[in-house]
Amino acid sequence: MQIHISTKDGVPIYLQIVNQVKYMVASGRLRSGEQLPPVRRLAEDLLINPNTVARAYRELEAAKVLSTRQGAGVYVADTASPLARREQTRILKDRIDLLLAEARHMDVSVEDLIDLLRQRGELIK
């Protein structure tokens, strides 16, 4: 599981993990029922405090993204799919907000921004 932690982020480490796991589930990189590394393993791989990993896993479990099987580990929850759609929308909204802020800074109108989006969309097709 490819998680990248940065202390320069400003975002607390546990939240970085939460966000990245949610993203991977939403984008299909983590499938329903797939097992995640145990707390200790992930802590050693990322070189962070195990409590931080435990906290992230707890939050993901509360958000029903992960589920713990008694003594058998941590897995992506089966009910992850409806969450995926919501999570995807949230991620895109965040990206859009950033884009809008930048455009505003540069005095670019929303209409011009939409034109630009369409142009790029055509190119990528």
Place of tokens 């011009």: 112
Nearer to another protein, 58 or 83 (CB): 58
What residues make contact with another protein under the rule CB under 8 A? 5, 7-8, 10-13, 39-40, 43-44, 46-51
Query: What does the block give as tokens for 10?
Result: 């400003």
Nearer to another protein, 43 or 83 (CB): 43
Nearer to another protein, 20 or 26 (CB): 20
Q: Cα separation of 58 and 77, whole Å?
A: 13
Residue type, 51: N
Place of tokens 């029903």: 64
Nearer to another protein, 26 or 39 (CB): 39
Minimum distance of another protein from residue 94's CB (angstroms): 17
Minimum distance of another protein from residue 96's CB (angstroms): 21
Residue 46 neighbours by CB under 8 Å, 6+ apart: 3, 5, 53
Minimum distance of another protein from residue 81's CB (angstroms): 32
Cα within 13 Å of Cα(76), Cβ side: 19
